[in-house]
Structure 1
Amino acid sequence: MKKYIVYPFLVVSLSLLLGACSEETQAETATPEKEVTDTKEIEETEVNITHTPQWSYEEEIGPEHWGELNPSYSACMNGNEQSPINIESSQVKTSEKLENVEIQYEPTDFSITNTGLTIQANPAIPSNSIVVEGKEYILAQFHFHTPSEHQFNSQHLDMELHLVHQDTNGELAVLGLMIQEGKENETLASIWGVLPKSETEEDIAIKEPVDLEALLPSNQTSFHYNGSLTTPPCAEKVKWTVFEEPIEMSKEQIQAYQQIFPDNQRPVQPINEREIFGVN
């Protein structure tokens, strides 16, 4: 049976698509209650939910046809900076001006949902952030793909984790972590222990905080490029950071995910005139 969905984070507001410069006013000192409200505002105003037209990874409404389903998805077909891409070592450049991403993660309560096409984890409060090129982006959610969407030298890995961040203007920055078979991933064990096998109407609370910093690879050599969302509307101007060193999950963990989602990845897209920079 086919499953169709539109991820909540994937249909961005018109202000993002047009590169608008509107800003949200935030209090300089926020209470925990205010922080929860701010997260809700991001979900409801900057990342809008839409239900039609539906799309999937299969057949007539799969990746090859996304751009035909609705005018708002035209970037999926006509965009020049689409993601994912194949990262070839010979094409990676170094830049003295480009600094590594500053990651500010701490143990946080999460809930998870089976959206119909991925497992997505949502933070209870906006306590995790990254700084990219001097701008702060707050973690909105993270989710998984199998096999990996990005390639290294034309090779897929078993899975890929995307940590999606958003700034106050609705612009996005994503950290991509490649996943390969190895030892059990203890950081994700609490999530894997309650993986919903079918689409959920309500989030499932994770009983213990998830420490995303412990999830990151020890070697944080990374690749940076300008790309897009990897699902409709395929909006561009997304700042991508993909770590070179994979993290590990056990064979059992990978199989548990693949039994729910056998294949939920978009094929790699043309690089065109873009540059890929490596940072050690």
Structure 2
Amino acid sequence: MTDDPTAEEPTHEQVAWGYDAESGPAVWGCLSTDYALCALGKHQSPINLVDPTPAAVAALAFNYRPTMLSIENNGHTVEVRSTNDNWIEVGDDSYELVQFHFHTPGEHTVAGQRFDMEIHLVHRNEAEELAVVGILVRRGNSHPLLELVAEHIPGRGQVRTLQHTMINAADLLPTERRSFRYEGSLTTPPCSEGVRWFVLETPIEASAAELAAFEAALGTNNRPVQALNGRKLLIEQESVPRG
């Protein structure tokens, strides 16, 4: 689905893309035939999360453990790589955590409300299919893990690895983990579809200083919301134990 299985958004160095008027979301589909889905796709992300249908679906099971902190600034986002065995389970399906990265401001909206930042935890199964958990972030109290990442964001095109600093992606999760669910796409070129999206309903908080650090590194790197085009948008009604 992607050229680089460790990234949600492949670099595609031969065709530059970004978020400004000349290379931003409005023209992604025109920059390369590889990016055609950005303009022509009918199952694109992000979307406005509004009027979901309650559904009795299997709860997300998070199996995260401490991993060494390694941060890459690839020029499009700040990405934290997963170096240990971390995964989620959705019913009988299992997806390994590959990386998580950041968008400022947020990409998905909830009933039209946009958040200060959004974190995408990108997972992949053995069939190379992607499942992304979206975490909405609003301005509020300091967040220890986000503070740590913000303090060590490297320069554009650089990687910073702290061999003696361990983090756990579970620390990003809100206590209440009910999720919106729908079938969508990558939110960056090549906008590949067939991505399972789980956007957690309850946001987490980050301080103004932490958000400012990400904004300074990322600028504006969010794609506008896309049309639902008849897709089903679900929200967990109740948890169903795994059989």
Q: TM-score by structure 2 length?
A: 0.91
**In 1: Cα distance, 2:44 partner to 2:5 partner:** 24
Partner of residue 77, structure 2: 118
Greater share of strand: 2
SS in 1 for 2:195: strand
Letter in structure 2 aligned against 1:258: E
Q: Quote the RMSD (CA, aligned, Å).
A: 2.0
SS in 1 for 2:30: helix
Structure (1 or 2) with the larger CA radius of gyration = 1
Partner of residue 24, structure 1: none
Partner of residue 194, structure 1: 152
Question: 1:202 deviation in Å?
Answer: 3.4
SS in 2 for 1:209: strand
Match status 1:213 vs 2:170: yes
SS in 1 for 2:58: coil
Percentage identity across paired residues of the two chains: 36
Greater share of helix: 1
Greater relative contact order, per chain length (Cα 8 Å cut-off, separation 6+): 2
Partner of residue 44, structure 2: 82
Partner of residue 12, structure 2: 50
Report if aligned partners of 2:37, 2:190 keep a CA contact under 8 Å in 1.
yes
Letter in structure 1 aligned against 2:146: L
SS in 2 for 1:144: strand
Aligned residue pair count: 237
Cα distance, 1:185–1:47 mapped onto 2, change above 3 Å = closer
Partner of residue 17, structure 1: none
Deviations 1:208-241 (A, max 9, x none): 2112212200111110000000000000000000
- Stretches of structure 1 that go unaligned for 5 or more consecutive residues are 1-10, 14-40
Q: TM-score by structure 1 length?
A: 0.80
Deviations 1:122-180 (A, max 9, x none): 1223x110112421111110000011000001110100000000111111000000000
**In 2: Cα distance, 1:236 partner to 1:253 partner:** 32
Match status 1:174 vs 2:132: yes
**In 1: Cα distance, 2:9 partner to 2:148 partner:** 27
Cα distance, 1:48–1:262 mapped onto 2, change above 3 Å = closer
**In 1: Cα distance, 2:196 partner to 2:89 partner:** 11
Report if aligned partners of 1:191, 1:206 keep a CA contact under 8 Å in 2.
no
